Structure 1
């Protein structure tokens, strides 16, 4: 199961390192690993510096990391040993894993050990965005807003039990003439 861990914003990588240090490779009482994977979901974006474009990565969900485990109670016990703020999301009675559609959103764009959404490229056809390259091909309907200057698109998804707008990289590379 996938669980969301809230951490200090800007400290996602450090928190993931500490979680891996305290839980990865550790075995539970029944001999199974406590932690399968801990990752920070990211996306690529292009920025122009001194006339040249560079590909950068940004956090998809600032302030959150995702842990994959079947031993949530034992993982939570190990989180208590981490000196920085970490808290598993859930209700008062239990920790709530991501549901199938939330996992599917992340898995649609990433793979295990490589949790970065690659930059998509698109052209404008009138007022419509047509993705020509990258993971957003065929998913134009998900896009709610495009910021051409920043090279990003906002995508509305259900995540963490609510609807949120997520920013991903989308470079508009041209305009097709209207038909």
Structure 2
């Protein structure tokens, strides 16, 4: 299974995802997160994109076949910009390491739910939610906004991703 990333105009992510999902052997995902917003005494859940302007495609197609698919069907779509790739290639799938890093964001149809945890001795311990096992990638925690910032390596760059994390206690 290969994963490719399309760079698209913001607000066209869902349109392009729906177009690609109409084809066999293609699964387009637009990862999003549940953001917890505190308004007075209520906590409101709001869905936001994790990677604005990006559409992830899971397929068994090899690079040559995927390139042909993109050129024939996706290039003409309004909002499409380019396929992300490594520096030496025009189209390339994510490496095995990048796939392992990004896979947790594809569970539950790309919806990254809120996680719950606590801080002990300046170390985050996640007790439930999709962040379990990703504690080492947490760069920063904002307890007031109930948010964690993760560093995700993609195509020789480090992307910062904001996800919901509720810290119940600090010991």
Match for residue 58 of structure 1?
48
Match for residue 151 of structure 1?
146
Match for residue 10 of structure 2?
9
| 1:29-85 deviation digits (Å, cap 9, x = unpaired) | xxxx4x420110122221123521122222121111111231312321211221223
The alpha-carbon distance between structure 1 residues 48 and 170, as it changes in their structure 2 partners (threshold 3 A), is same
User: How far apart are the structure 2 equivalents of 1:168 and 1:155?
Assistant: 8
Deviates more, 1:133-142 or 1:71-80: 133-142
Match for residue 104 of structure 1?
100
Gaps in structure 1 of 5+ consecutive residues: 26-32
- What is the TM-score normalised by the length of structure 2? 0.82
The alpha-carbon distance between structure 1 residues 79 and 140, as it changes in their structure 2 partners (threshold 3 A), is same
Deviates more, 1:94-103 or 1:124-133: 124-133
Larger helix share, 1 or 2: 2
Aligned residues: 164
The alpha-carbon distance between structure 1 residues 41 and 109, as it changes in their structure 2 partners (threshold 3 A), is closer
Gaps in structure 2 of 5+ consecutive residues: none
| 1:86-136 deviation digits (Å, cap 9, x = unpaired) | 31113575301111122222323533x611222111223353322222122
Q: Is the 8 A contact 2:6 2:81 kept in 1?
A: yes
How well do the aligned residues superpose, as a CA RMSD in angstroms?
A: 2.2
Q: Which has the greater radius of gyration?
A: 1
- What is the TM-score normalised by the length of structure 1? 0.79
1:88 to 61, 83, 87: 83
Deviates more, 1:163-172 or 1:133-142: 133-142
